[in-house]
Amino acid sequence: MGSGLSELIDGNAVHVCLDMQNIFAPGNLWATPWLPKVVPIIEEIASRHAERTIFTRFITPVDVGSARGRWRQYYSHWPEALHSNLPPDGLELVPELARFVPPAAIVDKMQYSAFVGSELRSRLAAMQANALILTGAETDVCVLATVLDAVDLGYRVIVVHDGICSSSDEGHDALMKVFHGRFTHQIETASASEILSSWNSNR
């Protein structure tokens, strides 16, 4: 259940969809079992606001030696996830969402937060973004890291509670409680239908 929106969403909002890639689809290496449930919800948002949508992709290094610091230990544990070991389309967006690019944009990243080592901040500045509507995977990893960075940067942060997913139900549920209970003045959570109704009324 979402906490609802504090105010209407104006035309400078940007939909940032995190890491909805083939590698996270069921049957693949980092499968997120209920990713298919959120894809249609993300499709609905992207279809109405494709020009205000940015998709991120989590890009893994070619080899362990290319990773920074403790990421080398991480990829030593997950050698199958190295770019060179994945199928050619492993890091691509799932087909249902790839069709929105363009006009939607893609930003690649190599860390959990979409703001670290990527073009996201400059793209948002160019779009005069004042609010971020966040969807994607995973709730307790990349969504969490990106949400907290967005809060620190001063954006209005809106998490689409039926448009995010995780491979851990416990992790997802715990993070939703944290968002609702600890960040009520800085993080809003709402359903896709609430967001689309509000956003459309201001465009």
Looking at residue 2, what is its pLDDT? 44
- Taking the C-alpha atoms of residue 172 and residue 193, their distance in angstroms, rounded to an integer, is 20
192-200 vs 35-48: helix crossing angle, rounded to 10? 0
Looking at residue 149, what is its pLDDT? 98
How does 3-22 read in b/e, with b if 16+ C-beta sit within 10 Å? bebeeebeeebbbbbbbbbb
Per-residue pLDDT tens over the stretch 132-173: 999 999 999 999 999 999 999 999 999 999 999 999 899 898
- Taking the C-alpha atoms of residue 132 and residue 9, their distance in angstroms, rounded to an integer, is 10
Report which of 17, 94, 5 is spatially closest to residue 53, judged by C-alpha positions. 17
- Taking the C-alpha atoms of residue 87 and residue 97, their distance in angstroms, rounded to an integer, is 19
pLDDT (tens digit, 0 to 9) for every residue of the chain, 203 residues total? Answer: 445 788 899 999 999 999 999 999 999 999 999 999 999 999 999 999 999 999 999 999 999 999 999 999 999 999 999 999 999 999 999 999 999 999 999 999 999 999 999 999 999 999 999 999 999 999 999 999 999 999 999 999 999 999 999 998 998 989 899 988 888 889 999 999 999 999 965 54
Cα-based distances in Å from 65 to 18, 60, 87, 111, 155: 26, 12, 20, 16, 35
- Taking the C-alpha atoms of residue 79 and residue 134, their distance in angstroms, rounded to an integer, is 29
Domains of the chain are: 13-59+92-200 (3.40.50.850)
**ω before 92 within 30° of 0 (cis)?**
no
